[in-house]
């Protein structure tokens, strides 16, 4: 077995040890039933990837009926979902991978047709700049905000009862948690908005609610993670300095911070004179106070080793685990030469990728999947946002 650091075990929090430092990043399957229940296709998909990574973070699940972002999305919004979520948790954990349920509210990043004709909601009535056909959201009332905070807590309780090892709050890719922190989307003048400190109020309230639920219903091993996008390209928007400040603020109340980037080699998109890696900025700011998951375009062992060398504690891998579900096992057995780095359309059934997800990969992510029939070079996201970060290509 090769002596890579990422194959070593890691204590993500006191009493909770991962068998290695590889994390399967959350990737949208778009294949759930209409009501958000998990399908057999999705169970098969996760079963094929279970056992390699030390931790697997699921595709996102909504916590509220008006928080659904797209069709084919998991739901953790009602107790009816517990049996379905339990099947998902047990499938992932079958071969000793920790199972973490990612939860969110889409906020303005959805459409009335997805919500059964209901207008999307957000921190303020400000339309998103992308996609181009974004709808104007309705500003949330105070009691609705409190209800959504409670929904995050109830979704966490369902994750606990379903057997998950943790939850990850999806505060990235311009969803509701990020919308409240962003000066672009939050124009409120009450306790939920205003200066940077007040714009943090919603995110901190969600974290505190989830922590209280974990304390009441789970044991000390249950993991709480937070995912964030380091920058926004909107003006005004969240700056790298804003995100570093937010990460420092929450570092004592979460068990890891997960960066959402298309490349671990990314530098600031807004400050071109700053050539320090964004990952390095977070490592230096947080000073080992909380584990960091670094990710983005990690394809081979050299990439994974570099992420840890920069200072991250864990390595997130997404697309490469679509192409090669046994990435970890092949490296452990010294069989690196057999790792699949390209993928044929005809491979996807054998790789357990659900049909709807296959179509999404072909239509929206062809230039980042290394399809054998795509003659274009794989795109480099060290200097621009990637489509999986929720951005339209024409805005890059």
Six-digit token pair at 391?
Answer: 């951005």
Catalytic pick from 4, 45, 175, 264? 175
Q: E-assigned strands of the chain?
A: 10-13, 16-18, 22-24, 55-57, 61-62, 74-75, 98-104, 121-122, 138-139, 166-171, 223-228, 256-259, 292-295, 314-317
Q: What are phi and psi of 175, to 5 degrees?
A: -80, 180
Going by C-alpha positions, the residue among 296, 256, 340 that lies closest to residue 54 is 256
**Is 175 annotated in the active site?**
yes
CA distances from 151 to 13, 65, 165, 390 (A): 25, 10, 19, 24
Q: Which residues pair with 23 in a beta bridge?
A: 55, 316
CA distances from 125 to 321, 350, 355 (A): 39, 45, 36
Q: Which helix (H) or strand (E) holds 160?
A: helix 142-162
Catalytic residues: 175
């Amino acid at each position: 077995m090769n002596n890579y650091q990422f194959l070593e075990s890691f204590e993500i929090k006191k009493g909770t040890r991962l068998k290695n430092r590889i994390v399967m990043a959350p990737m949208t399957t778009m294949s759930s039933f209409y009501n958000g229940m998990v399908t057999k296709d999705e169970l098969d998909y996760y079963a094929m990837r279970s056992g390699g990574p030390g931790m697997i973070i699921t595709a996102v699940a909504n916590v509220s009926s008006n928080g659904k972002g797209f069709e084919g999305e998991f739901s953790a919004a009602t107790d009816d979902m517990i049996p379905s979520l339990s099947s998902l948790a047990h499938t992932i954990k079958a071969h000793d991978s920790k199972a973490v349920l990612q939860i969110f509210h889409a906020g303005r990043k959805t459409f009335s047709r997805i919500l059964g004709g209901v207008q999307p909601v957000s921190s303020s009535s400000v339309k998103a700049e992308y996609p181009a056909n974004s709808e104007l959201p309705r500003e949330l009332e105070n009691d609705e905000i409190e209800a959504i905070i409670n929904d995050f807590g109830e979704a966490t309780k369902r994750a606990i009862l379903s057997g998950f090892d943790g939850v990850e709050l999806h505060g990235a890719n311009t969803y509701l948690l990020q919308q409240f922190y962003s000066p672009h989307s939050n124009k409120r003048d009450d306790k939920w908005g205003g200066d940077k400190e007040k714009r943090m109020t919603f995110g901190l309230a969600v974290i505190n609610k989830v922590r209280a639920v974990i304390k009441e219903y789970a044991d000390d091993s249950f993991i709480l993670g937070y995912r964030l996008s380091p920058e926004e390209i909107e003006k005004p928007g969240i700056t790298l300095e804003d995100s570093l400040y937010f990460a420092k603020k929450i570092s004592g109340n979460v068990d890891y911070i997960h960066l959402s980037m298309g490349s671990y080699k990314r530098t600031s998109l807004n400050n071109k004179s700053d050539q320090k890696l964004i990952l390095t900025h977070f490592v230096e700011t947080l000073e080992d106070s909380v584990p960091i998951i670094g990710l983005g375009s990690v394809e081979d062992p050299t990439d994974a080793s570099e992420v840890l060398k920069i200072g991250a504690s864990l390595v997130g891998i997404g697309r490469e685990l679509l192409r090669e579900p046994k990435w970890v096992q092949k490296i452990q057995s010294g069989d690196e030469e057999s790792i699949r780095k390209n993928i044929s359309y005809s491979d996807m059934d054998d790789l357990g990728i659900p049909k709807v997800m296959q179509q999404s990969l072909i239509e929206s992510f062809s230039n980042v999947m290394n399809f054998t029939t795509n003659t274009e070079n794989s795109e480099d996201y060290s200097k621009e946002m990637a489509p999986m970060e929720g951005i339209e290509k024409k805005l890059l």
